Amino acid sequence: MSEPIGLFGGTFDPIHYGHLRTAFELWQALRLRQVRFLPTGNPPHREATLAAPELRLQMVQAAIAGQGAFVADDREMRRTGLSYSVDTLTELRAEYPGQSLCLLLGMDAFLGLPHWHRWREIFDLAHVVVAHRPGWKAPITGPLGEVMVDRGTGSVRDLHQSTAGRVFVHAVTQLEIASTDLRALIQAGRDLRYLVPDAVRELIQSTGCYAPQQR
């Protein structure tokens, strides 16, 4: 079986170094073939995004330029209606029937997994890789506690030897950057230099997508 494909979804409103460093470290540690960045079209669990879908895609493309293993995938933006991860994974499983797929999540997103649409089906379609964050602990009770007992693994090899079904928790370097805070900085007239790639910063500045008058 060839190396797994990592799937990294999010609003990316905007994408920043916290996203990129997490993806890079998981790519290296899990020996992933590639990481596909999947900007959300119409997220069911969040308020509407501020930047237009096309611009968020452009920012992702600008951010990952030069990293050959990183790919921008716009399928969720092209889909009508709400974007559900189970639908995206079903599409990708049909495209890569014999390939290991790894859904990359932050610990906070993982803890909210039971509220996702048809969440139990996700494990039939992909592995779940959880990027550990300070102050969070893997659940030991409830539905996710059961998942950790039944599906948890500490072996990267398990992610390579089967196509789906395992949960793997991995610590990553913590860059405490949040897209919400970045938008607030822009609203306050601050510069995002060193928080986002220069190409992303230039797109934000040239379009004024987060400027107060655009709200």
Taking residues 5-15, report their average pLDDT: 96
Q: Is the pTM of this model over 0.85?
A: yes
Dihedral of the alpha carbons of 211, 177, 51, 63, in degrees to the nearest 10: 110
46-77 pLDDT, tens digit per residue, is: 666 789 999 999 999 999 999 999 999 999 99
120-133 pLDDT, tens digit per residue, is: 999 999 999 999 87
Is the model's pLDDT at 214 over the cut of 50? no
At residue 121's C-alpha, the angle toward residues 120 and 124, to 5°, is 115
Largest distance between two CA atoms of the chain: 52
CB 60 within 8 A of CB 97: no
Q: pLDDT-derived band of residue 215, with 50, 70 and 90 as boundaries?
A: very low
pLDDT at 43: 66
pLDDT at 7: 98
Q: How far apart are CA 79 and CA 47, in angstroms?
A: 18
Beta strand 101-106 pairing with 152-153: unpaired
Percent of the chain with pLDDT strictly greater than 90: 83
Segment (H or E) for 25: helix 17-29
**Which structure tokens are listed for 139?**
């659940």
73-116 pLDDT, tens digit per residue, is: 999 999 887 879 999 999 999 999 999 999 999 988 999 999 99
195 φψ region: left (φ > 0), alpha (ψ -120 to 50), beta (else): alpha
